[in-house]
Amino acid sequence: MPDVTVAGSASEATRNGQPQQVDVAVVGAGFAGLYLLHRLRKAGLTAVALEEAGDVGGTWYWNRYPGARCDIQTIDYSYTFDPELESAWKWSEKYATQPEILRYLGFVADRYELRRDIRFGTKVTAANWDEATERWQLATDNGAAVACRYYIMATGCLSAPKPPEIDGVKDFKGEVYFTGRWPHEEVKLAGKRVAVIGTGSSGIQAIPLIAEQAAQLTVFQRTPNFALPAHNGPPPADRMALLEGDRATYREQARWSLAGVPWPQQTAVSWQLSDAERRERFERAWAAGDLVHILTQLWADQGVDVDGNALVAELLREKIRATVMDPETAAALSPHDHPFGAKRPCLDTNYYATYNRPNVTLVNLRQEPIKEITASGITTDKRTFDIDVIVFATGFDAMTGAIMAVHPITGRGGRSLSDVWANGPQTYLGLTVAGFPNLFMITGPGSPSVLSNMAVSIEQHIDWVADRLIAMREAGFTTVEATETAQAGWARHMADCATLTLHRLANTWYTGANVPGKAWGVMPYTGGVGPYRSICNEVASRGMLGFRLTGPGVAEQCNDGEVVRLQPDVRLVLGMLEQMNLPPIESLGAEGARDFVNQFNKARPPGRPVGEVIDGTLQGAEGPLPYRLYRPATPGPHPIVVYFHGGGWVLGDEQSDDPFCRDMCRRSGMIFVSVGYRHAPEHRFPAAAEDGYAATCWIAEHAAELGGKAGPVMVAGWSAGGNIAAVTCQLARDRGGAQISGQLLVCPVTDCTFDRPSYNENATGYFLTRSLMDWFWDSYCSPAERTDPRVSPLRGKLENLPQAVVVTCEFDPLRDEGVAYAEALAAAGVPVEQLKARGHFHSSLTMVDVVITGVSGRAQMANALRRFAGLPLERRQGEEGAAPGLTAPPREIDAAAG
């Protein structure tokens, strides 16, 4: 039941000087605050919203600068919770202006009579959790304090403008404006000498319009940004047709999409497309004038791979050069310091062309920093500009600024949020903070927020929170609080997601880098809107996983744990596989299983180009065997790696790990020869092992003919191939065969014991199941043969084997036998390095095309091979760590030297 009822209008409730008592206090009356009020009311909860501004609108109340518009198409940047509201409002433009969006939010406030529960002109200054009453006490700068059961901060991600960092602002005698706090009355710029400081989204929108009015405009730019033309006009017919064709489906697709706008997932990667095809896609995106389009529809690797990204960045720079007539200005406007999309790109109308006007000057602060602002203008270390008006378009203290501005926020045990967040925000789901019961943040740090269409994210957050409050009330709970375990798990998952994208390679407001002294870290959730929604739903469906719930007269409930332990892309892959409802592979029989795997592999994109791919035949133990050789594009001769594919001794062939072989060939700069060894059940034990040994000998003998370096070779293999590689090393040592300088064993089969914990923990649900492994073993060898070191190398003699790197994946039945092998090798005096891939499954590291978080693992494997071959190590930007000067991201693979 509600604690009390808000008596009439909010202002009446504050008259008696007592704290206003409500179930829920909402701070903010923007997009989020308005919908919150509506939902809470519908849930029968009493609520008040406290808003510093004089009216509703939030962002759209404050940002009245010339040219202010949304940059997500307005048909998407709208509420969707009420179909009647949708049909009652028609947007006039593709990207509506600030006044139109503000009118819309006013219309919404009127339609649901929201203003009566909003206290305008009221800033919340502090918040304190009172443990005795289990209520939040909010202090305000205007009128009564507020006491509430739940405190929801809808304070906005971009609502705390960043103060200028330049000396002398106060001495300036002219007019000063901030884009984020633009006056309500008209600002007259005609005939004036105007300076704009800052070229982020607001600056880029404002500059062309200011240039049209001002006598002289000087733009001070520290960091150039990518921008593309909005091509504004009426809402585009194709998008409108999609929306109106089936509104419900369109909205639902948006909710499950990556960015909150329904665009299909792009599958083609850059290297599969010709230059002409890439240019055609790019020109289409350029003409579309849509950020989500260009960020998601060019090629699948543009947001996750430095090379794929560099292609689009260069095409964008080409557009800048083609538009801006002065080459020096064009160069200064061309971003080189961040991948496209890692910093929020902008939509513009005539931005670049504005620099061709005679009254516009660009000052590149990288070359001539501002020394000071004087009474009459701005002085750089090269010149002085006389200025009448300064416009600061310097952005916001994003995501945390407005939250931290309520100071202190004191939680359980008197702990202040600013202390807890001293090293960066920590949240569970971006919604809650451990130690701060009943506090929720809408689109807080750790949620998709600014990386999404925020209208969609706001609705999702609010629905989730409101549904939880209703469920708690029904169950008799009155407090909800995230656990430390859940919060730490979320931080890890956030970091894993950030590793996946290129955001970590840029110093931006996403990472707090625009605010001096702010802790560095990727603040928004980069895993996407749809995955985020499914995680929130999972938390609820698993009994509020990671939350402690208490209430008078009910037993405390705490399902502690981490909601996502898999790497984000592994989670997606496994989710997709589950949805495909595939039959168990072992039920298909050997031929059926091979057909299935072949079809499956055909559907996957080919790997990246290498210098040369040659198919040939070599001599196996009992006859010729096919091989496929991958040669790097670099001048040879190259060291040779003999590679054995995976497939449980039954499936696969010399081509089935093609993307992995290509990737490793490129990364290591070595020849990979993938061997088509014989398969069970037609050729049972020890056929595969003997072929492995024979093939290695043949390749070592023919190294020069194959274009490789003479001398020792290396062996590598994945899964059953790892088993063959390990066995080959033992046979080569015992039989005096090929010289092997190193072995790379990726998730190898090493033993016939099936009771290690990983076999039980990961028996099902991670593609390689226990029952599939049983079938592989049965197909390859009899129970009596299984203890033979030629199939269970862990049982063999391990002294004097080549140095090794053993890779294991956390969610793999074979994990523990891999670890056991590495430990046994080390105990036998073999130099061995273990790479433990956290959050990965058996196929992660070979699924080059889809499991991008496997990149750093493969980079480390390639470096291990280079070490074996005595070559210098390679370090590619964005793969093994962050760019110099940036905080290094956590590694997906925790390498433990043996």
List residues near ligand FAD by CB under 6 A. Answer: 27-33, 50-53, 58-59, 61, 63, 68, 70-72, 77, 123-124, 154-159, 202, 402, 405-406, 442-443, 453-455, 458
Q: Are 620 and 678 in contact (CB under 8 A)?
A: yes
The nearer residue to ligand FAD, 77 or 351, going by C-beta atoms, is 77
For the CB of residue 471, give the shortest distance to ligand FAD in the complex, in Å: 24
Q: Are 23 and 6 in contact (CB under 8 A)?
A: no
For the CB of residue 563, give the shortest distance to ligand FAD in the complex, in Å: 24
Q: CA 633 from chain center: how many Å?
A: 32
Neighbours of 792 (CB within 10 A): 22
For the CB of residue 204, give the shortest distance to ligand FAD in the complex, in Å: 10
Distance CA(500)–CA(852), nearest Å, equals 6
Q: CA 505 from chain center: how many Å?
A: 12
Cis (ω within 30 of 0) for the bond into 408?
yes
Burial of 98 (0-12, 13-18, 19+ CB in 10 A): buried
Neighbours of 861 (CB within 10 A): 25
Contacts of 80 (CB under 8 A, 6+ apart): 86, 251, 254, 455, 456, 459
The nearer residue to ligand FAD, 409 or 566, going by C-beta atoms, is 409
The nearer residue to ligand FAD, 454 or 650, going by C-beta atoms, is 454
For the CB of residue 52, give the shortest distance to ligand FAD in the complex, in Å: 4
Across 8-56, where does the E strand assignment appear?
20-27, 47-50
The full DSSP string for 105-139 is: HHHHHHHTT-GGGEETT--EEEEEEETTTTEEEEE
Q: Are 759 and 813 in contact (CB under 8 A)?
A: yes
The nearer residue to ligand FAD, 346 or 824, going by C-beta atoms, is 346
Distance CA(207)–CA(716), nearest Å, equals 58
The nearer residue to ligand FAD, 406 or 433, going by C-beta atoms, is 406
The nearer residue to ligand FAD, 136 or 693, going by C-beta atoms, is 136
What token pair was written down for 357?
């006007």
379 in helix, strand or coil? strand
- 7 membership: H or E segment, kind and range: none
Neighbours of 184 (CB within 10 A): 8
Distance CA(543)–CA(483), nearest Å, equals 14
The nearer residue to ligand FAD, 159 or 758, going by C-beta atoms, is 159
For the CB of residue 30, give the shortest distance to ligand FAD in the complex, in Å: 2
For the CB of residue 351, give the shortest distance to ligand FAD in the complex, in Å: 15
Distance CA(202)–CA(789), nearest Å, equals 68
The nearer residue to ligand FAD, 31 or 136, going by C-beta atoms, is 31
Distance CA(147)–CA(23), nearest Å, equals 8
Nearest alpha carbon to residue 348 among 225, 211, 205: 205
Distance CA(854)–CA(852), nearest Å, equals 5
For the CB of residue 392, give the shortest distance to ligand FAD in the complex, in Å: 14
Look-up of token digits 């300088």: 741
Nearest alpha carbon to residue 330 among 311, 310, 351: 351
Distance CA(804)–CA(726), nearest Å, equals 9
The nearer residue to ligand FAD, 366 or 407, going by C-beta atoms, is 407
The nearer residue to ligand FAD, 153 or 825, going by C-beta atoms, is 153
For the CB of residue 209, give the shortest distance to ligand FAD in the complex, in Å: 14
The nearer residue to ligand FAD, 455 or 610, going by C-beta atoms, is 455
For the CB of residue 395, give the shortest distance to ligand FAD in the complex, in Å: 9
For the CB of residue 665, give the shortest distance to ligand FAD in the complex, in Å: 43
The nearer residue to ligand FAD, 81 or 754, going by C-beta atoms, is 81
For the CB of residue 68, give the shortest distance to ligand FAD in the complex, in Å: 5
For the CB of residue 158, give the shortest distance to ligand FAD in the complex, in Å: 4
For the CB of residue 232, give the shortest distance to ligand FAD in the complex, in Å: 12
The nearer residue to ligand FAD, 315 or 342, going by C-beta atoms, is 342
781 in helix, strand or coil? coil
> How many residues make up the chain in this entry?
898
The nearer residue to ligand FAD, 217 or 456, going by C-beta atoms, is 456
643 in helix, strand or coil? strand
Q: Which ranges of 334-400 would DSSP assign to H, the alpha helix?
A: 351-354
816 in helix, strand or coil? helix
Residue burial 868-893, b: 16+ Cβ < 10 Å; e: rest: bbeeeeeeeebbbbbbeeeeebbbbb
Cis (ω within 30 of 0) for the bond into 327?
no
Q: What are phi and psi of 834, to 5 degrees?
A: -105, 135
For the CB of residue 225, give the shortest distance to ligand FAD in the complex, in Å: 14
DSSP state, 605?
A: P
The nearer residue to ligand FAD, 347 or 832, going by C-beta atoms, is 347
For the CB of residue 892, give the shortest distance to ligand FAD in the complex, in Å: 30
